[in-house]
């Protein structure tokens, strides 16, 4: 079946630097994508979403980029803070159906 995967399982970034978390998706028909942040012992927290008719969307300190040509999604976090340490998941859906999640990337912020 279709799956969403991540290039790197772990990422360490110096505090204050920008971080980029990548995600590859295999269903070219996917039309909606969400990035979630999950801290230890908590449920996934909605960060930002993007529809397939867009290639970029910005939020507070976060930017999501969508490249449909290569089926690639990325999450950029500006000026990382210790509180950004968490596991980040991308999720995709087609036709407003279920979310299919990637395996997750653990982001560690180095003080």
Partner 1 sequence: KAGVTQTPRYLIKTRGQQVTLSCSPISGHRSVSWYQQTPGQGLQFLFEYFSETQRNKGNFPGRFSGRQFSNSRSEMNVSTLELGDSALYLCASSLYKGPTEAFFGQGTRLTVV
Closest to partner 1 by CB, 53 or 69: 53
Q: How far is the CB of 7 from partner 1 (least distance, A)?
A: 16
Residues in contact with partner 1 by CB under 8 A are 32, 34, 36, 41-46, 49, 89, 91, 93, 96-104
Q: How far is the CB of 93 from partner 1 (least distance, A)?
A: 5
Closest to partner 1 by CB, 16 or 98: 98
Closest to partner 1 by CB, 8 or 79: 8
Q: How far is the CB of 16 from partner 1 (least distance, A)?
A: 29
CA distances (Å), 40 to each of 13, 33, 43, 60, in order?
18, 23, 8, 22
Q: How far is the CB of 60 from partner 1 (least distance, A)?
A: 16
């Amino acid at each position: 079946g279709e799956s969403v995967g991540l290039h790197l399982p772990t990422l360490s970034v110096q505090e204050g630097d920008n971080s980029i978390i990548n995600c590859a998706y295999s269903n070219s028909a996917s039309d909606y994508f969400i990035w979630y942040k999950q801290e230890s012992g908590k449920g996934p927290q909605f960060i930002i979403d993007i529809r397939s008719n867009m290639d970029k969307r910005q939020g507070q300190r976060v930017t999501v980029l969508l490249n449909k040509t290569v089926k690639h999604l990325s999450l950029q976090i500006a000026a990382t803070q210790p509180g950004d340490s968490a596991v980040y998941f991308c999720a995709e859906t087609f036709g407003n159906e279920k979310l299919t999640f990637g395996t997750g990337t653990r982001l560690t912020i180095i003080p």
